[in-house]
């Protein structure tokens, strides 16, 4: 008998890792958003709000649910996590 991976549990672990990874990015965007508010820059506020929503949505990436092997799940990584903040 081979090694069995509980993919349901593995998906939850992946989502937890993504949440931890996005946390500092969201915190940085919160700072940038407040600066935009103070500057009265509504356009920048809207762009930051969109970016924050994309980060919130990383755990809903359909690639995570579609993964059928641990390697596929490991490779699931929304591109938004690799983009630099606007600063």
15's tokens: 């989502």
Cα–Cα distances in angstroms (integers) from residue 45 to residues 26, 70, 75, in the given order:
14, 38, 32
How far is the C-alpha of 17 from the C-alpha of 37, rounded, in Å?
Answer: 31
Residue 87 has pLDDT above 50, yes or no: no
Q: Give 8-32 pLDDT, tens digit per residue.
A: 999 999 999 999 999 999 999 999 9
Helix (H, G, I), strand (E, B) or coil at 3: coil
Q: What is the pLDDT of residues 32-46, one digit of tens each?
A: 999 999 999 999 999
Alpha helices in 5-41 (DSSP H): 7-39
Helix then strand then coil, % of the chain, to nearest 5: 75, 0, 25
Task: Name, in order, each residue with C-beta under 8 angstroms of 22's C-beta and a sequence gap of 6 or more.
Answer: 55, 56, 58, 81
pLDDT tens-digit series, residues 56-79: 999 999 999 999 999 999 999 999
């Amino acid at each position: 008998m081979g090694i069995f991976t509980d993919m349901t549990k593995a998906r939850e672990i992946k989502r937890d890792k993504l949440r931890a990874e996005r946390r500092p990015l969201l915190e940085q965007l919160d700072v940038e958003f407040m600066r935009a508010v103070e500057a009265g820059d509504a356009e920048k506020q809207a762009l930051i709000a969109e970016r924050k929503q994309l980060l919130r949505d990383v755990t809903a990436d359909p690639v995570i649910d579609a993964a059928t092997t641990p390697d596929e799940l490991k490779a699931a990584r929304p591109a938004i996590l690799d983009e630099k903040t606007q600063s």
